[in-house]
Structure 1
Amino acid sequence: MQPRRRFSIAIYQQHNDEALTSLSGVVVAATSNVTAKLINGKYVFQSAGDNVPVAFDKDWEWPTITIKPHTPMLESGAYVAVAYEVSPSGEPLTDLGRRCSAHQPVFGWPPDSNDMALLIVRPRRPSASIAYVIPTATYHAYNSTGGGCYYGDPIHRTSPALKVSLRRPGGGLGAQLGEPADPYDPRSPRQQFTHWDAKFIRWLRVQNLACDFYTDLDLHRATDLDLANYRCMLSVGHHEYWSQEMRDHVARFIAGGGNLAVFSGNTCYRPVDFGPQTQHGGIKEMNRLRESWPDFNESDLIGLSYGYGGGKFGVWRRLRGGWVKRKREPIGFTVQQENHWVFAGTGLENGQTFGAEDHLVGYEVDGVPPLSNGFNTLASTPRLVGWEMGGIGALGVYQPELNAGSKQGLVFNCGTTDWARVLIDPNTKSHVVVAQITLNVIRKFLDLGSHHPSRQDSALGDMDTRARDAGEALEDLRDDEATETEICGSPRRQRE
C-alpha cells in the first residue's frame, strides 16, 4: 500500500453477478514495512517507507501485506483486495470504505477499481477439469502506470517501451490506460479483468462449470500449473502476450490429448519473455521481444493469427476531444458448416450470419493463414476493409500438427475479443447462439455429453424467452480448498 497511509483491507470474490461478493474467513497480515493493529474487531494497517514516484519499468518495492485463508474451504478463483483509508479509530473515510466495512457489494470498475488489486487463488491440488489462465501479461502490457507501457498512451503522453515491471499497480484492476472507451461496454475499460474475464467467469458459474484458476506466470513457469492434470485449458478475452515457454507448455498439453478452448481475440500474437525468477520463484519484469511471432507462426498452435484478421479501435484527435470514431460497422460470422457439433442446438443454417447486430466481431479478430494450415473454418467474416490488417476473421476447430500423436487434442478458436461481452448479456440478439456454442465446446472438450446439467439446457424454446432466462443465476458450485494466491496488481489510487 502507499507509504505513510492508514488503511484497512476487504476481500471480495467474483461470483456469478456483476457485483463482487464480500468474503469472510481470510486473514490479512502485515509483512514488509507495515504494522497492523486490531481496532474494534478490524485490522488497521500503517505503512512506512518513502512516497517517491517510481517508473513503470522498476520494482516499486512498496510495503506489502500477506493474504491467506483462514478456512480450508476457500476455493480457487478470482478475488479482489480493496484498500480503503481509515481514521485512527478505524472508521472508513470514503464511501467505498463504508461499503466494504458493511460487507456490501462493490463493483470492479472505475473509480472504485483504483483502490483494488486482482488476486488469483491457485488450487492446492487440481480439483476441476478446466484450467482457466488469466491473461495478466496483457493487463501489464497496456498499463502505463508509472509513465509507460508497450504502447504510446496519447491521454497521458507516454511513448512505447520494451520493458514493464510486474511489481506495480494495475495488473488487472486500476490501470492507467490510453485506450478509448468501449462504445459497447463503456462501464469497464478494456485491458481490465472486469471487461474480459469477469464476464466469462460469471457465465461459467451460472453453468455449474468448475475451474481451477492460474495466471500467465503459472503457465510460463509450469511449477504450480501442470496442464497434464486437466482436460481443457481456457484462454479468454484478450490473451495477447505469450512467452515461448507458455507456447511450449500448451503445445505439449495438446499433443498429449488436452484441449484448448480460445474465447479470445488477438491471441498469442506478441512474444515476450519474463525476467529471471527471484529466490522465492517470483518474476519482477516482462520484456517485449518483437512486434509479432515470425510469419505469424502462433497460427501453428491455435490455428488463427491476428496478422490475418484485423482490428478497429478509434481515432485519436488531441484538438477535438480525444478519442473519436470508436464505433465499428456491424459485422458477424457467416456459417459454413451448419451440421458441425460446434453449432448443435443453435438452429443456424449455412449462409446465416450471427452476431452482426451485437458487433460480435472485434474490436480485434483473428484470421486463417492464406496457405492452409488445416484449420477447419466453421464460420467467417467478410473482408475487414478499413481495419488494421484488413483480413478475414474466422471461427472454427484446429488440430495442430506439432508433435502429433494418437492422443492429439483439439483447439477451438472463436477468433474475437468481444465473445465474453455477448456471452454474458441476455439482451444481445446473438446471446443464445454464442452461449450454446460456448457450452458445446466445453462439453465436447470435457467429454461431458448432453447429460451435463446447465442453465442453457433449461432455456429451450423461443429465442427471446431463452435470452431473458439465461440471465438468471443458479446457486454457486464451490470447488475444493485452495491456499496459494497470485497478486496481479495493487490498488492504483493509493499509490499515485
Structure 2
Amino acid sequence: MGAEQIRRWESGALAHAVSDPFGQGPLPWLRGSENYFDDTGQMVPWYADEILARGGGGGPRTADDVKRQIKGFASTGAVAPGESIDFHITVDPPQQFLVDVYRIGHYGGDGAAKITTSPRISGIVQPAPLTADRTVSCHHWWQSWRLQVPSYWSIGAYVAVLTTADGYRSHIPFTVRDSHPADLLLVLPDVTWQAYNLYPEDGRTGASLYHAWDEEGRLLGEEDAAVTVSFDRPYAGAGLPLHVGHAYDFIRWAERYGYDLAYAETRDLHAGRVDPSRYRGLVFPGHDEYWSAPMRRTAELARDQGTSLVFLSANTMYWQVELGPSPSGVPDRLLTCRKRRGPGRPALWREVDRPEQRLLGIQYAGRVPEPHPMVVRNAEHWLWEATGAGDGDELPGMVAGEADRYFPRTALPEHQGRILLAHSPYRDGDGAVRHQETSLYRAPSGAWVFASGTFAWSPALDRPGHVDARVQRATANLLDRICKRE
C-alpha cells in the first residue's frame, strides 16, 4: 500500500479494513453496531465504516490514536490463574472508566462471555509515547489497574474492554494459560500481531515493521518502517490486533465442538514455557509470519517427538526475528526484524537455507488480491471424508489474503507419507495465474503436519458470511485423528 493511496491518518486508520477482508471480524460485545451491509449485500466489519467508527450508529464510540480518548496495553501477554496482570491506560480528557473482561468462546453462539468488571477507575492523561529510531514505546506509562486473575478462571483468550464515562471504547487482548496437559495447545500469534501494529495511527509518530509516516502525514512503506517495535504500547485503532479474528474464529468453533484446548502465545514458545510433550497437537490458528529461532526449534522438536502441528493460515514462519528486553529489563518486550536493510544475515528463513517448507510442507507464494475458490485434490483422503467434496470441487472464496504452495526445488521434510489436498489457481496482482496448495504429511515420529496454505481457513470455521461446512468437517477429521478420536 503506497503513499499515493493513503495521504492522511484518517484513511490510514481505516487501512486495515480496506486491505484485509479476513481481518478482525465481528466482535460480540459490540452487538447491534458491529456490522453493516454494503451496497452489494456483503457484510462488512464495523471498523470499516467511518460513521460507526465515529459513533454515528449509537452506542459506544471507538477511541482513536489522535485524541487518545482511551487507549491501553498489558504488562504481559499471557498470565496464569493466580497471577496478576497490570494495565497501563491513558484517558483524555481525564475521567473515570470501567474495564469489562470478556473470554472468547462459543457461549451458545454469543462468541464471548463477560467474566468480570473492574471497579470505577480514575483515568489520567499519560505522557506522550517515546520514540527512538522509529521504535514507539509507552513503557513509562503509570499502572492504571492490576487484575488479580482468580485461580478458578478458565484458561483462554481474553479481551479487556475499556469504556470511558463519556462513552469511548478501546480493547486490550491478553491470554490466561497454564501448563496442564491437554489434547491441543492453541498458540496465539502475538509476535506477528505486534509486527503489524502501527500505533499510534496519528499521521506522525506511529510505526510498524511495515509502515511509518513522513512529515506530511503520508504513510511510508517497509524501507522506511521500524526495525524494532515494542509490546509496551496499545494496538492501533480500536486496540485489537490485525487478524486477531482468525484466532477467535477457531476458538469459537473448537469450543463449540468440545475440543480439549490449552492456550499459549508465540512468546511462550520463544521463552521455553511450552513443553510440546504435554499435547497431542499444537494449533497455529492465525497469520503467524514472524518466528524467532527458539520458536522454530520448539516446533521442530514437537514434530520430531510425535506432537502434531496444525497451521491454519498462510505465510507462516516467513521472517526470522529476535526478541529483546524492554529498557527496564522485562524480557521479550522488543521485537526486531531488519527485513532487507543493513549488512549481516538475511532475515528471510528461506534465505538462511532454512526454508519454511522443511517444516510446513509448503511455503509462502504471494498475495491473493481477490478471493478465489479452493479446488479439492485427493478427495479420497481421510481429511475430506464425509465432507461431500470430490476431486475438482470448488470451495468458494477459500483462497484469499495470501497463499502458500509446494516449491519443487526446495527440500521437503522427512516424511512417511505426504499429500497435497488442494491445488487452486488464482490470479496475482499482475494478473498472472498462480496456484495455492494445501499440504499434509506424516513425520517419522508419527506426528501429522497440516498447512492450509490460505488465510481463509479459520474464518470458514465460524465467521458469519464465510462458514464452509466442508472445511469445518475436514478440520474436525484432522483434529479428531490427532486427538486419537478416530
Q: CA deviation at 1:14?
A: 1.0
Secondary structure, in 3 states, of the residue corresponding to 1:63? coil
- In structure 2, the residue matched to 1:137 is 191
* Structure 2 gap ranges (5+): 1-88, 201-205, 340-346
Output the CA distance in 2 between the equivalents of 1:74 and 1:351: 46
Q: Is the 8 A contact 1:197 1:420 kept in 2?
A: yes
Q: Is the 8 A contact 2:181 2:279 kept in 1?
A: no
- In structure 2, the residue matched to 1:180 is none
Matches within 5 A, 1:219-238: 219-223=269-273, 225-238=274-287
The yes-or-no answer on 1:128 pairing with 2:182 is yes
Output the CA distance in 1 between the equivalents of 2:265 and 2:155: 12
- In structure 2, the residue matched to 1:292 is 348
Aligned AA (1:382): P
Secondary structure, in 3 states, of the residue corresponding to 1:443? helix
- In structure 1, the residue matched to 2:219 is 157
Q: Is the 8 A contact 1:129 1:230 kept in 2?
A: yes
Residue 361 (structure 1) aligned to one of 369, 387, 399: 399
Residue 15 (structure 1) aligned to one of 79, 91, 105: 105
Distance 1:5 1:361, change over 3 A: same
- In structure 1, the residue matched to 2:264 is 214
Distance 1:127 1:258, change over 3 A: closer
Secondary structure, in 3 states, of the residue corresponding to 2:154? coil
Output the CA distance in 1 between the equivalents of 2:326 and 2:303: 27
Q: Is the 8 A contact 1:273 1:289 kept in 2?
A: no
- Give deviations 1:218-260, integer Å, cap 9, x for gaps: 010012x212211110111211111111010000000000000
Secondary structure, in 3 states, of the residue corresponding to 1:148? coil
TM-score between the two structures when normalised by the length of structure 2: 0.69
Q: Is the 8 A contact 1:140 1:172 kept in 2?
A: no
Q: CA deviation at 1:425?
A: 4.0
- Give deviations 1:320-359, integer Å, cap 9, x for gaps: xxxxxxxx1x522222212111111112222222x23xx1
Q: CA deviation at 1:75?
A: 0.8
Output the CA distance in 2 between the equivalents of 1:388 and 1:242: 31
Q: CA deviation at 1:173?
A: 5.9
Q: CA deviation at 1:174?
A: 1.5
The yes-or-no answer on 1:67 pairing with 2:147 is yes
Matches within 5 A, 1:332-411: 332-353=373-394, 355-356=395-396, 359-371=397-409, 373=412, 375-382=418-425, 384-386=427-429, 391-399=434-442, 405=444, 407-411=445-449
Moved >6 Å (runs of 4+): 277-280
Q: CA deviation at 1:206?
A: 1.1
Aligned AA (1:443): D
Secondary structure, in 3 states, of the residue corresponding to 2:358? helix
Output the CA distance in 2 between the equivalents of 1:388 and 1:240: 25
Output the CA distance in 2 between the equivalents of 1:388 and 1:161: 31
Secondary structure, in 3 states, of the residue corresponding to 2:191? helix
Aligned AA (2:158): Y
- In structure 1, the residue matched to 2:320 is 271
Percentage of identical aligned residues = 24
Q: Is the 8 A contact 2:246 2:459 kept in 1?
A: yes
Output the CA distance in 1 between the equivalents of 2:173 and 2:432: 33
Corresponding residue pairs, total: 365
Q: CA deviation at 1:5?
A: 5.0
Residue 239 (structure 2) aligned to one of 174, 182, 185: 174
- Give deviations 1:275-294, integer Å, cap 9, x for gaps: 14788863220001435213
Output the CA distance in 1 between the equivalents of 2:401 and 2:278: 34
- In structure 1, the residue matched to 2:81 is none
Output the CA distance in 1 between the equivalents of 2:156 and 2:379: 35
Q: CA deviation at 1:383?
A: 5.3
- Give deviations 1:20-42, integer Å, cap 9, x for gaps: 32113x7x6xxxxxxxxxxxxx3
TM-score between the two structures when normalised by the length of structure 1: 0.67
- In structure 1, the residue matched to 2:457 is 419
Residue 78 (structure 1) aligned to one of 144, 147, 157: 157
Q: CA deviation at 1:82?
A: 1.9
